[in-house]
Chain A
Amino acid sequence: MTVLPYLVAAWIFLVGVYGLATSRDLVHAVGCLAVAQSSTYVLLLSVGYRHGGTAPVFSDVKPGVTVVDPVVQALALTDVVVGATVTALLLALVVQTAKRFGTTDPDELFALRG
């Protein structure tokens, strides 16, 4: 049971990378990258979890209760927002690529070949 979060994080990462590698459409590939990024959120928050702890938000509880680790929550928060920004940027690049090459199939994009 205690190892399940890490297994799930590893599974999500592998599934995302598999989708990225076997993708036939650049927009689908961006979605798979978002999936792979979500594995890091799961990993970070699983590392910080404490049994019996509660959220480190002290607006409605008194300080002194057992809380889960707030540092990894800050990291995960940054991760979520940066992930959304990266997705937006990549989608803009996909639109430009489609305009330039007329296709979104990564196998047909030959201009990057050496």
Chain B
Amino acid sequence: MNGWLAAAALLLIAGVGPSLWNAARGAPGRRVVAQNYATLLLCLVFLLLAQGYGRPAYVDLALVLSVLGPAGTLVFARLLLTGEEAGEGGEPPGTRRLTPVVAVGTAATVLPLCVVTGPGRATVKLLVIGALLLAGGVATTRAVRHG
């Protein structure tokens, strides 16, 4: 029983499924936060899939998503939460929980992967992805809160 793939499946069903539910209904603030969660959780899913299938080449997907995911969320926060659609009052639900969730999830995923991979360039890549995820989470939370 491949534990990495099982963890990826669990994260997909339990994390990204509810994000889709929240992104499809409700106020724009809630949707943007849900999209943010989805990109960050999906990056972790890609890391787990890369380890589960035994193909280190799949880590590039996580690298690209760790950059483009927060960028997309910043685009949405700029164009949906300011200007014409503004007038929310208060920050969207789930904003406060985002940075802790990202920090815990990233640590729980990247650190075991670094241990399994062993020292070398691949571990540096994993650590860079983890750092980008954390930075992305902080930047998008700030953008959503001040939008």
Residues of A within 8 A of B (CB): 54-55, 57, 59-61
Contacts and interface: CB of A to CB of B under 8 A. Distances in A.
B53 interface: yes
Contacts of B57: 55, 57, 59-60
B90 to A, nearest CB: 29
B25 interface: no
A55 B57 CA distance: 10
A57 to B, nearest CB: 6
Interface residues of B, number: 5
Interface string B31-66: 000000000000000000000010111100000000
B56 A60 contact: yes
A57 B54 CA distance: 13
Nearest to A58: B57
A61 B57 CA distance: 10
Nearest to A61: B55
A54 B56 contact: no
A61 B53 CA distance: 12
A60 B56 CA distance: 7
A12 to B, nearest CB: 15
Given A55-B58, A60-B55, 4 more contacts: A55-B55, A57-B55, A60-B57, A61-B55
Nearest to B58: A55
7 contacts: A54-B53, A55-B57, A55-B58, A57-B55, A57-B57, A60-B56, A60-B57
Ordered nearest first, which 3 A-B pairs have the shortest CB separation?
A: A60-B57, A60-B56, A57-B57
A54 B57 CA distance: 12
Contacts of A59: 57
